[in-house]
Amino acid sequence: MIALRAAKAATAAAVALFASLVAFGNLTDYNTNFVFVEHVLSMDTIFPFSTIKYRAITNPTLHHAAYAAIIAAEVVIAVLCWIGAGALVRRLRAEAAAFNRAKTFSVLGLVLGFLLWQVGFMSIGGEWFGMWQSQQWNGVPSAFRFVMTIIAVLIFLAMPDQELDRGGAT
């Protein structure tokens, strides 16, 4: 059904838009979210009695490097998802095999998005740096929302598409 194919392209584009806006915000308002990264890595707002503070990274150069890596990943996610959404739109009426092959860039972008927010924010930030302990700088709930959205889009997109019904309404 062409509506399902269009929905897959639209959901890939929606994630591309989200990643684009996040990256744009981080580039144009650098210091706002840099402070977040700085506090998470410094572990200066976690529970005062926490015994994991030895993991803290307090070097500002490393804070900037980590933030640059996050922004770069967001840009790559956006680019891959935009390319993928475009490829899907161009093949909306193509044979099923061609449409299914056109999913590659979207899948790559979605997987990278999953890895950034699940591994980067939830696992490394949340668990290794104890971000969940911070009242001010806990990004785990937001990261979880992003991960759930991205994984839902990835599952929907990965569902194989069938041939279009060429005889009737599509």
Sign of the CA dihedral running 42, 48, 49, 50: negative
Q: What is the radius of gyration, based on Cα positions, of the chain?
A: 19
Per-residue pLDDT of the chain (170 residues; tens, 9 = 90+): 899 999 999 999 999 999 999 999 999 999 999 999 999 999 999 999 999 999 999 999 999 999 999 999 999 999 999 999 999 999 999 999 999 999 999 999 999 999 999 999 999 999 999 999 999 999 999 999 999 999 999 999 999 998 887 665 44
> Largest Cα–Cα distance of the chain, in whole Å?
70
Query: Which uninterrupted H or E stretch holds 113?
Result: helix 104-114
This prediction's pTM: 0.92
* Burial status of residue 76 (CB atoms within 10 A of its CB: 0-12, 13-18, 19 or more): middle
User: Which residue, among 20, 49, 46, has the nearest Cα to 136 in the 3D structure?
Assistant: 46
Q: What is the residue type of 68?
A: A
